[in-house]
Structure 1
Amino acid sequence: MYERMIARTRRRMRMTVLTLAGSKGGCGKSTLGRAMSALLAREGASFAVVDADPNKALSRWLTAIYEGPEITHCAEANEDRLAHLIAELRDQHDLVLVDTAGFENLGSSVAIASADAVLIPCKASEADLYEARTTATKVKSLSVTTRRTIPAWVILNSVRTTAVAAHAAEQIKEAGLERLSASLGHRADYEAVSHTGKMPTSGAAFREVTDLIAELRAKDAMPAVRVTA
């Protein structure tokens, strides 16, 4: 019995809630959700997706368009039910990936407060950088409220040129925000995924998302795939 208890404890320690957050629509949360979900499913990872965006873009994609291994997913925008749903799925999977609305609402706050880490996608425009700072400030406030550290990282999305990316990276640094080394380029493949349901298995987009997942795992923000006998 003691060994089973230890095993359950170790399993709980591996469970992670990763929330995709941003107070501006169009910053790339659903793009990230689609790409990461498709690759994680292909790996055979134990994870679930929660779509907390009232628009349900990610949920609609998973239900009607996605082609690949089955992914457990739920759409829940109600903040009261959302908190319980995330907790329930966290007990059943190694990872819960939560997509949020492109504006501030109670559901987004619940998703951030429930998170073990937050990923903030950000394009290179001034408006996106401003909203990334707003979201990061919200994460810090909820860290104080929940009395625990909730790490948050900005990831540059839809990068068009090296010069623009460098400028945006410098702006993120000057704002005191932490940025991931991984980034997503402005690529037709990401748009195609939203229509075809198929994530590429090679090429630049595939490498970018693979690098992102590897970096998050290195930061203990995402569990590695468990090998079962």
Structure 2
Amino acid sequence: MPVITLMSPKGGVGKTTAGLLLALELADGGATVVIIDADPNFPLAKWGRLPNKPERIEVVQEVDEDAIIDTIDAAQKRARFVIVDLEGRASARVTNALLMTNLALVPMQGSVLDSDQAARAFQSIRRASTAARREIAFAGVFTRTPASSRIRSRVAQQIADGVEGAGISTLPTSIAERTVYRSLFAQGGTLATLDGATASSIETARANAAAFAHDVLEALSAARAAA
């Protein structure tokens, strides 16, 4: 079963939010999902202990750096999709997880600092590809974009152009900065079960999450076709 990893050397880019939204959308579509939380702060494991977690989603808290390959392998045998939320620093766990990966996603914001840090992640993926003697598919994901505007800032557009010019594909859908996404980690559950949010904000957030998940599945299909 396909393994999708999310990684970024820089914190605060929405990596864990992207992983959770993807898991929720896949589960909503009827798939079983195992989330492997390998972030030292274990934000997804904490979400998983809150109320209203979908039954189709299992969260595994990975605390043993040496066990990640076995953890992913076991998860593949019991779920349709495996999503791995990796720590930011370079480590044996990151490398080993990448060796098991079908698609690696690198979330980043439209800033020079984020672009520089994302470049480190792309280099790590390419080195893992060399070690694995196969191409590990990867793509950038722009995150925390202003929800009120569809127009990128000049700097963000320059960065997007530079990423594409370097031969790195990015998903068409950017994940917007939304209060309801942050609320998931406070309340638990799904976008549909959140309390205190307006119907319009929920509807817009769900549309954004669905478009992002669709892009991920398209990228995964393209990676399979190229393999």
**Aligning the two structures, in what range does the TM-score lie when normalised by the shorter sequence?**
0.7 to 0.9
Contact in 2 for aligned 1:21/1:112 (Cα 8 Å)? no
Query: 1:186 aligned to 177, 191, 199, which one?
Result: 177
- Cα–Cα, structure 1 residues 77 and 83, in superposed 2: closer, same or farther, change >3 Å? same
Name the CA distance, whole Å, in 2 between partners of 1:113 and 1:19. 11
Aligned AA (1:87) = D
Q: Compute the displacement of 1:70 (Å).
A: 4.6
My pick for the range that moved more, 193-202 or 116-125, is 193-202
The superposition leaves residues 97-152 of structure 1 with CA deviations (integer Å, 9 ceiling, x where unpaired) of 00011222221222112101101111112111111111011101100100011010
> Which residue in the other structure is 1:199 paired with?
190
Aligned AA (2:169) = E
Q: Compute the displacement of 1:204 (Å).
A: 2.2
Name the CA distance, whole Å, in 1 between partners of 2:92 and 2:67. 12
The answer to whether 1:138 aligns with 2:124 is yes
TM-score by length of 2: 0.84
Q: Secondary structure in 2 aligned to 1:26?
A: coil
Contact in 1 for aligned 2:5/2:101 (Cα 8 Å)? yes
Q: Compute the displacement of 1:68 (Å).
A: 3.3
Q: Compute the displacement of 1:47 (Å).
A: 1.8
Contact in 2 for aligned 1:79/1:106 (Cα 8 Å)? yes
CA RMSD of aligned residues (A): 1.9
> Which residue in the other structure is 2:14 paired with?
28
Q: Compute the displacement of 1:78 (Å).
A: 2.2
Q: Secondary structure in 2 aligned to 1:219?
A: helix
The 4+ residue runs of structure 1 with deviation greater than 3 A are: 65-70
Q: Compute the displacement of 1:179 (Å).
A: 0.6
Q: Gaps spanning 5+ residues in structure 2: where?
A: 193-201, 223-227
My pick for the range that moved more, 63-72 or 37-46, is 63-72
Question: What is the number of equivalent residue pairs in this alignment?
Answer: 208
Name the CA distance, whole Å, in 2 between partners of 1:103 and 1:166. 27
Identity of aligned residues (%): 25
Q: Secondary structure in 1 aligned to 2:176?
A: coil
Contact in 2 for aligned 1:121/1:156 (Cα 8 Å)? yes
Contact in 2 for aligned 1:67/1:197 (Cα 8 Å)? yes
> Which residue in the other structure is 1:157 paired with?
143
> Which residue in the other structure is 1:226 paired with?
none
Q: Gaps spanning 5+ residues in structure 1: where?
A: 1-14, 223-229
Name the CA distance, whole Å, in 2 between partners of 1:184 and 1:166. 15
Aligned AA (2:69) = A
Contact in 2 for aligned 1:199/1:206 (Cα 8 Å)? no
Query: 2:162 aligned to 171, 174, 187, which one?
Result: 171
